[in-house]
Chain A
Amino acid sequence: MKPAPFDYVDPRTVDEALDHLSRHGDEAKVLAGGQSLAPMLNFRLARPAVLVDINRVAGLDGVTESSGALRVGALVRQRQLERTLDRRFPLLTAGLGLVGHTAIRVRGTVGGSIAHADPAAELPALLACYDGVVVTRGRRGERSIAAAEFFLGPLMTALAADELLVETRWPVPTPGTGWGLHEVARRHGDFALVGAAALVTLSDGKVARARVAVFGCGATPTLAAVEAALAGCAPTTALIDEAARTAASALDPPADLHASVEYRRRVARTLMVRALSDAVGRAAP
């Protein structure tokens, strides 16, 4: 389990990194925390000609806030974000706690997890649930891509081969927004078989906004179509159950060693109900 031979570069600036990416295109792979890439290299499942190590690139490791969103630099470690988030981001905090184990989160980056786009991972689904944005830089300039448009398939994103993910933006939820997060993983720290994250905002006891992202249930994190069913209504148990049932039937989950299509669809429904119920329970009425 040694990687196939590759060249290695460690640029110090984004522009330098972009030079390498534009020169090598598909032949290059960006190394950040390496928590997914390094095993793929060792299994020789990934055989890049060039590894562009961005760990020494300046300016990508900050967490700032502007225009109502948290701006998280691509190199911010998952553990670092977990420890700096305040009480306005309980869902993201809880979600980060489910990413691998502490040792993995100390190395693993937020940007890396988003760019890797594993459909069973927590962070892509959370970014979708928050209605977040991915910021990329390329030779042609900067792009802001909504999470819903960023994830295209398993390990596939809208990121071009000569672009670098430089930041993710996480909108600060409206005060009083309730949250819920449930996942089934075989073991603590494993990728989820199925998971559901929910953010619900109530107004006069009625649903003003409800977003549910399901992960492990399709080619990308899936925004479940629950909002239409719930908006403007009092979120009763029956209504939540019906919304989850309808949303689950629209899912197209994969089968693998650990769970069947049927299992994932059933459990997605259960977890959507639980996540929504928690979110409603936590939301300010």
Chain B
Amino acid sequence: MGAKYFGAAVRRREDPRFLRGEGRFLDDVRVAGLLHVAFLRSPYAHAMIRAIRTERARAAPGVVAVFTFADLESWMKPLPLFGAPPPGLAAAIAFEIRQAPQFALCRDRARYVGEIVAMVVAESRARAEDAAEAIEVDWEPRSVVTDMRQAAEPGTPLVHEAWGTNVGVGFTHAIGDVEAAFARADLVMSETFHIQRYVGMPLESRGAVAVWDRRDGTLTTWNSTQVSHFVQQGLAGALGLPHHKVRVIAPDLGGGFGTKASGYPEDHLVPIAAIVLNRPVKWVEDRREHMMSAAHARHQVHAISLAAQRDGTIVGLRDRIWLDLGAYNVWGIVLPYNTVAHLIGPHRIANMRVDVQAVTTHKTPNAPYRGAGRPETVFAMDRAVDCLARELRIDPAEIRRRNYIRSDELPYDFGMPYRDGNPLVYDSGDFPAALEAALKAADYDEFRRDQPALRARSIFRGIGISGYVEGTAIGPFEGATVKVDLGGRVLVATGAVNSGQGHETSFAQVCADALDVPLEHVTVVGGDTATVPFGVGTFASRSGVTAGNSIADACQQVRAKLVKAAAALLEAAPGDIEIEDGQAFVRGVRASAVPLARVVQASIPTFARPGVASPDFEATAYHHVPTVTFASAVHVARVEVDVGTGHVTLLRYVVAHDCGKVINPLIVEGQVHGGVAQGVGGALYEEMVYDEQGQLLTGSLMDYLVPTAMELPPLETVHLEFPSPRNPLGMKGLGEGGAISPPAAIANAIEDALEPFGVRITATPVSPARLLALLHETA
């Protein structure tokens, strides 16, 4: 296979339609006779439902139906739960796990503001909303718990009374001898860090359209999801339909970020309404609904201690970690264990003990969001490292030089499992090289030289570093089908949904190289369950590696079939057939070249003759990855702080990263930029805020602040390419990385800028008001 397209900066083939405003998003799906849904959602964080009266709503103009739990009881199956520990992990760690089933509609109790109480179906969305207001509910408010650390203590209100506790996941894990390490250390640095609740906030909200065909019992549903096969499985189970009669199509997605990889009540309720009413039904989540009912994310507290020698060598790590799950433990061990598996990161720390409690509170359920535990754990670790450096009077760059694992130590075995149950062993990379590359690109030494003179002029600039090592591309597989049509053109279908990553371009590059056909001969579709039997979906920085390798595998099989047919057509031995640029020919005899279309056509039987071979130029592959690949990066932020207002300006931002072999550097760079933008949001702007009654105070994008292009600094990316030995294409995952380090790097930079004032940053987002308060506390 030649590498003609792999690695080339091919411009995104999907962009023309997006730039022309011709993307086909969920809300663009129009079907004749559509009905529209509005939901009545709980206004209380915790309350019993004593009665629901829907008569007025049912009688309202344009209303077709109103459904409560009682109305749909026979349809109400528990929503899917995820995150049971795989065998290798369960064998190593004793997890305390509690998961309570959530129903699509509240049965008799609401556990967070935004939980669905009733569904109104009407001729228009406006009519449906008018009717939803007319539903009367007798609520009996109950006591509420919103603080995760308080929720972990006995005697607090319980989210799920049957548990007798709010702890959804609890475990302790240790490697090495942490007691001895702390006993022999010169110094112990302890601090508590808070990472706020912030979320993916895709530009396009969620939504579903469902069409029920009563004639053959087929359900077709478009869903703005990253995981169409998961949605299909959930629906087949819940509705009692054969899988092949449930077709789930993810249309163009305006972002996903993990928010659209969770299982949701609306995924089921919209199809149920379509079946019960035998009418097509549509629901598009509005932004107000999105704020309160799409999955929330992040939100951890780390009470972390580092034990170190005077020279800065970190010899031990203790961390007590709380995670806020929201009202349901949908994702099991995923977030808690991700947090633990990424805590040490690029550092060489052999002794660690963590005590973890993931607790339910009366808030919107959390799910993995771009980084999924890593931004939080990296914030705790990199902030702690900076605090340690300050105490030891060692430069933050130097303390990292002394602690980063060297490339000659790879593969580096932690002696503990990764989240997939396989051993946590870093496969490839060079963390010190990434550190030096990032420092150099950020002109670190020059910055340090100039900093004192600037301070003398009351200009407070700082520089901050954060590094991570990220397990990416979790398996177990992705499905891909490759087929060559009558014209010799190639269709690639995969379970990986394109939620903005440029799959139509990068996967075409993989296929064009593997089959050796022109790029323009390849079409890629993703996220339609009718096109590939089994699939997983796009999340966890996995699609490039899992779908990419499956596509390459399938192409090899198709290529072998083409070679065999071409050999028959050209009357040569298969071993003598070459395929190049969409032509098959006998090696050394260019004049024999025929286009692949001719090979396909010659294989199709005619009245006169059978084909030269079976016209089966199709293959489906499910490449299995042995475990994750480890991508890594070092981020460096440069900031200026206005000490009169607390306002932080980002001056520059550098990312030196390794994602293994790069398919398309343009797309990789775009992914890094997007991730950094969301990380900047976490560092400085974004926070879902609840009051003590569990009311969501950030109900709109006027209150929940997503950074815009205006808030972002110039971004510089340095590509380091250390191929992974764990897949044939040598790739590593990329999607999430950009979002992991910005909170730590930016907070470190702010603290560095304010070093003369002795400010310590222990929480994000670092808002002007919080920063000014810190400056005045220390003054």
Contact = CB atoms under 8 A, between A and B. Distances in A.
Given A266-B772, A267-B645, A271-B645, A187 B708 contact: yes
A5 B61 CA distance: 12
A193 B645 CA distance: 10
Interface string B767-779: 1110011001000
Nearest to B776: A266
A257 B645 contact: no
B707 interface: yes
Given A1-B286, A43-B288, A187-B707, A193 B769 contact: yes
Nearest to B38: A2
B152 to A, nearest CB: 26
A174 interface: no
A187 B700 CA distance: 15
B474 to A, nearest CB: 34
Contact of B773 (A3, A43, A188, A263): A263
Contacts of B776: 266
Contacts of A274: 644
B382 interface: no
Interface in A37-59: 39, 43-44
A258 B769 contact: yes
A193 B130 CA distance: 35
A262 interface: yes
Interface string B727-771: 000000000000000000000000000000000000000011100
B126 A2 contact: yes
A2 B129 contact: yes
Interface in B238-291: 286-288
A263 B710 contact: no
B711 A262 contact: no
A186 interface: yes
A257 B689 contact: yes
A263 B770 CA distance: 9
B697 interface: yes
Interface string A251-283: 000000111101100110011001000000000
A184 to B, nearest CB: 5
Contacts of B698: 257
B685 A184 contact: no
A221 B137 CA distance: 42
A188 B697 contact: no
Report, as a range, how many residues of chain B touch the other chain: 20 to 34
Contacts of B644: 267, 270, 274
B697 A257 contact: yes
Given A184-B647, A259-B768, A260-B773, A1 B288 contact: yes
Interface in A169-190: 184, 186-190
A70 to B, nearest CB: 29
Contacts of B711: 187-188
A4 interface: yes
B773 A258 contact: no
A35 B648 CA distance: 28
B108 interface: no
B705 interface: yes
Contacts of B287: 1
Contacts of A258: 767, 769
Interface string B169-200: 00000000000000000000000000000000
Interface in A181-214: 184, 186-191, 193
Given A1-B288, A257-B698, A270 B769 contact: no
B157 to A, nearest CB: 25
B125 interface: yes
Contacts of A191: 702
Given A184-B647, A186-B705, A187-B710, A263 B697 contact: no
B458 to A, nearest CB: 13
B703 interface: yes
A3 B125 CA distance: 10
A105 to B, nearest CB: 15
A190 B705 contact: yes
Interface string A1-44: 11111000000000000000000000000000000000100011
B125 A2 contact: yes
A260 B770 CA distance: 9
B773 A186 contact: no
A176 B332 CA distance: 68
Interface in B679-703: 685, 689, 697-698, 700, 702-703
Interface of A: 1-5, 39, 43-44, 184, 186-191, 193, 257-260, 262-263, 266-267, 270-271, 274
14 contacts: A1-B286, A5-B126, A43-B700, A184-B646, A184-B768, A257-B703, A258-B767, A258-B769, A259-B767, A260-B769, A263-B772, A266-B776, A267-B645, A271-B645
Interface of B: 125-126, 129-130, 133, 286-288, 644-647, 685, 689, 697-698, 700, 702-703, 705, 707-708, 710-711, 767-769, 772-773, 776
